[in-house]
Structure 1
Amino acid sequence: MALTKQKSLFGQILLWMMIPLTVLWPLSFLVSYNLGRNIADAPFDQGLKNSVLNLSQQLQSSYSERSLSSWGLSVPSSDEQDHVYYQVAVVDAETIVGTVSMPEPPSDMVLNRVQLYDAVMYEEPVKVAYMWVDLAGQSLLNSRFKEHPIVLIQVAESLHKRETLARQILQGVTLPQLIFLPIAVMLIWFGLFRGLLRLNQLQHQMSQRDSQDLSDLSTEDTPEELQPLVHGFNHVLSRLRRHIALQKRFLTDTAHQIKTPLAGLKTHAEYALATQDEADRNHSLKQIVASSERTARLVNQLIALSRTEHLAEERLDLSPMDLASIAREQTVYAADRALQKGLYIALEVPDTPVWVFAHAIMFGELIKNLVDNAIFYTNSLVIVRVLFDEERAHLYVLDDGPGIALEERENVFEPFHSILGANGNGSGLGLAIVRQIAQMHHAVIDVSDNNELRGEQVGAVFHVSLPRQIVRSDESSE
């Protein structure tokens, strides 16, 4: 089986910082180039506008044919990089001066205002400034403009100098970036290393701890980002300490509970071997059988408690079950034990199924322990009852025993807890198993007095309530 490569937190943080940087860096070039173009366009656009305005002023002050030929002298001539074109034309008529094949300006005509547009001339892009001039209001007017007083003035220039200036601006911006980017990466790496140093120190502090040291980690010098991790780890340590304490108590109580019947077995066995009286020997043997049964019951309950604790740590597989059917089955099993003790056991369940989500074996174990507990402590009567309402199903186990005092009702669910003065010698594990299974089924369990009894009898009622499930007929048939 191939080993899974461990991921580095440092590497992941560095990667997620470098990915945006590698994306944003080329994007910054694009933004810088567009910004450089805008900066480069501004003075050249203004130069084109000034040329148009100069031509407009000459047009309005020139009245002779000779002056017409000198209008273009105010327009800058072409240089080594760019070509400059100009045109003076009348609307829907011939070109007066300049390049004949100038592009058509946008269709909207705004008089006496210089505007710009992009075009292509001689297979190269150009920027064109143009203005519509109205000469109708002049008192002295050249004969060429009398019939067509609206004049179009255009000056066009290719874009080579603009692109050159934009590239120079981009180089001026990006060259420092190329120099400082490696420095920034090194500073990021150093910052991450310093930032994760406290995490490494925390890991070292944990690894150097003694295996028996379960005290909480200190949070005094812990950075704010690591506080949740430390608090979570301390919470786990707290649960572990509590679990270990419970396990130690459980082992101590188990040893004590097993030691007592084993000592009794040993005493009765020695007495049976030593006595010559047949009646005493038979009595000792009967006591050995009774002690063996109690010990076997204790061991079985220890195994059941261990199994429920193990299953509680896992996800219990619940499915629709008929609570009435489980109660009926466990009551039938318990009838033999009740009859042997001369007790009466009754079952009261509805005629219709009472569907709940449950684990049949584990919930059967819950009912079995409740019934066994009732048989163990009752005087004459045990009743198993199942009821339901719109939302919940209810299981009741009633007895007519000594009852449970109010201050004892929470403690009876603790392992090895037995009520002082109660009839019999129980192990104190049955109700602990019941509570564990109830928690696994999200059920609520409580204890109260048996108010159905008359006279001075108290009795006890164990009530288990869990959510009821509505199951369709086709699901129940499965």
Structure 2
Amino acid sequence: MLSLRVRLLMWLMLPLSLYIGASGWLAYRSARDTAALVQDRALLTSAQVIAGELTWVDGALRASVPPSALELFASPARDRVFYQVVTQDGQLLAGPPDFPRPPLFPTTAPAYSSVTVNGEPLRAVSYVRTMYNAGTPYRVAVMVAETMHAHDEMLAKLWEPSLHRQIAMAALAALLVLIGLTVELHPLIRLKDEVAGRAPQELVPIRAGHLQTELRPIVDAINLCIQRLSAQAQQQRRFVADAAHQLRTPLTLLDTQLQFAAQLDDRAALADVLAAMQTSSRGLADLTNKLLLLSQAEAADTPAFSRSRVDLVAVAAGVLEELVALAQRRHIDLGLETVEAHVWVEGNGELFHAMVMNLVDNAIRYIHEGGRVTVAIGSPDNMARLRVIDDGPGIQAEARQRVFERFYRNAPPGQPGTGLGLAIVKEIVAASHGTVTLASGDDGRGLVVTVTLPLALETERNAS
């Protein structure tokens, strides 16, 4: 994987290279056209000088080539120059007979052409002068050709310095970008060192004052993650502390009962102690299960926890089937009221089952014998609503907020329980982005626990 410096440099050099290539090509074309124009002008001037020396002598054309016509091509490149003067009927007036190309007789302007002799390129011009003999026009073509050495040298002198300057500019830009990236990325390196050098328990937000504006969202995201980790770590520490505190008493009691039972010889007394130990063991198991369930409920709002569509009506029906025997022993009227066959919510089925189980179990245990417990489910206002209604003693208004605290119990002395039931309900509802409230019944008696949850998406409900 390429480093960030190299990738940014590549993104810079790509358009810069394209620009240099296009600019270099345009500079090359301009230099080529300039060199060609200079050479063509020299060829035309030489041809015109030679044509100016054409004269009639005793009725015959004579052509002389002055030295000035060929001195125009003098250069360190030592180009070879060819010339030829030919009449319109093919008479050779001057120059060698083996000129690189046949004579041209353009009508309006001089004719330029490129030819090759023995693999060497030449540039040639054909200039026509009309001579009159007793009023009769007579056309004479003057042709001059030159090799391309001086032309190529001029092209290189015009084009290469510009190309070299642009390449040097690109190299300088790349160097400055690398230096700038090193300087500008230094705060990010410091941030990396700060994060890497932290202790596992050091969940303190990172300061973003020394970072550029573009990098601050990264720090904000890291700080948000640190905040979540800190909250989770605090939650875990609180859970461990609560669990240790609550488990210490029943474990101590069970240990005391074991020591006492070891000293007994009376079988009747031993049986009573064993029965008490069994009760303590069941209470310890119930407390452990509630603690584990509370831990699951606290983690239910994380992406790692499985979620699916859950039918709240089916969950409530299953819970009532499990608790019907307990209700019958206390002669309690246990019922389910719903006008909808299904009420779909999004969450974890096992936790929803535990939520309804805790609410209904609390209602059955804390009301008088012969009472009434009703579970009502509906979906008013596009929200799923579950209500557990009983006609028991209810909960005083000042205690309704505290009953959701862990291990807080609003029950008579001697009433079994862990004080975790409503705390578990609160965590499950919060993880499902819902609300739970407590209120008195319609006649001021009893308790109504209302759980409101978002409905599952309409597309998901249709798919079911």
TM-score w.r.t. the length of structure 1 is: 0.65
**2:374 partner SS:** strand
Could you tell me whether the CA contact under 8 Å between 1:78 and 1:84 is conserved in 2?
Answer: no
Query: 2:5: which partner in 1?
Result: 14
Matching of residues 390-409 of structure 1 within 5 Å: 391-403=382-394
Could you tell me whether the CA contact under 8 Å between 1:29 and 1:170 is conserved in 2?
Answer: no
Could you tell me whether the CA contact under 8 Å between 1:321 and 1:355 is conserved in 2?
Answer: yes
Deviates more, 1:261-270 or 1:425-434: 261-270
Query: 1:460: which partner in 2?
Result: 448
Could you tell me whether the CA contact under 8 Å between 2:43 and 2:124 is conserved in 1?
Answer: no
Deviations 1:91-125 (A, max 9, x none): xx99xx999858999xxx9x99x999x87777988
Deviations 1:322-364 (A, max 9, x none): 3322221111012122233442210124463444454433322
Deviates more, 1:360-369 or 1:44-53: 44-53
**1:428 partner SS:** coil
Query: 1:447: which partner in 2?
Result: 437
Q: Tell me the C-alpha RMSD between the 2 structures.
A: 5.8
For residues 127 and 438 of structure 1, the distance between their equivalents in structure 2, rounded to whole angstroms, comes to 92
1:337 aligns with 2:329: no
Q: Specify every segment of 5 or more residues in structure 2 that has no aligned partner in the other structure, as ranges.
A: 94-98
**Paired residue for 1:237, among 223, 226, 229?**
226
**Paired residue for 1:28, among 16, 20, 37?**
20
Q: 1:314 to 1:378 in 2, by over 3 A?
A: farther
Could you tell me whether the CA contact under 8 Å between 2:390 and 2:447 is conserved in 1?
Answer: yes
**1:369 partner SS:** helix
**Paired residue for 2:341, among 342, 352, 355?**
352
For residues 50 and 462 of structure 2, the distance between their equivalents in structure 1, rounded to whole angstroms, comes to 100
Query: 1:297: which partner in 2?
Result: 286
Deviates more, 1:298-307 or 1:169-178: 169-178
For residues 402 and 438 of structure 2, the distance between their equivalents in structure 1, rounded to whole angstroms, comes to 14
Q: 1:356 to 1:289 in 2, by over 3 A?
A: same
Give the count of matched residue pairs.
444
Q: 1:443 to 1:243 in 2, by over 3 A?
A: closer
Could you tell me whether the CA contact under 8 Å between 1:86 and 1:99 is conserved in 2?
Answer: no
Q: 1:323 to 1:156 in 2, by over 3 A?
A: farther
Instruction: Give the deviation of 1:35 after TM superposition.
Output: 0.5
Q: 1:177 to 1:44 in 2, by over 3 A?
A: closer
Could you tell me whether the CA contact under 8 Å between 1:400 and 1:457 is conserved in 2?
Answer: yes
For residues 451 and 105 of structure 2, the distance between their equivalents in structure 1, rounded to whole angstroms, comes to 95
Q: 1:320 to 1:17 in 2, by over 3 A?
A: closer
**Paired residue for 1:323, among 294, 312, 323?**
312
**2:419 partner SS:** coil
Q: 1:213 to 1:46 in 2, by over 3 A?
A: same
Query: 1:4: which partner in 2?
Result: none
Query: 1:361: which partner in 2?
Result: 350
For residues 396 and 68 of structure 1, the distance between their equivalents in structure 2, rounded to whole angstroms, comes to 123
Deviates more, 1:394-403 or 1:339-348: 394-403
Instruction: Give the deviation of 1:470 after TM superposition.
Output: 5.3
Query: 2:424: which partner in 1?
Result: 433
Could you tell me whether the CA contact under 8 Å between 1:355 and 1:470 is conserved in 2?
Answer: no
**Paired residue for 1:41, among 33, 42, 67?**
33
**2:3 partner SS:** helix
For residues 375 and 418 of structure 1, the distance between their equivalents in structure 2, rounded to whole angstroms, comes to 16
Instruction: Give the deviation of 1:68 after TM superposition.
Output: 10
Deviations 1:120-158 (A, max 9, x none): 777988889999xxx9xxxxx97469xxxxxx9999987
Query: 1:251: which partner in 2?
Result: 240
Deviates more, 1:49-58 or 1:208-217: 49-58
Query: 1:416: which partner in 2?
Result: 407
1:370 aligns with 2:363: no
Q: 1:307 to 1:356 in 2, by over 3 A?
A: closer
Query: 2:96: which partner in 1?
Result: none
Report % sequence identity: 25
Could you tell me whether the CA contact under 8 Å between 1:344 and 1:381 is conserved in 2?
Answer: yes
For residues 402 and 249 of structure 2, the distance between their equivalents in structure 1, rounded to whole angstroms, comes to 22
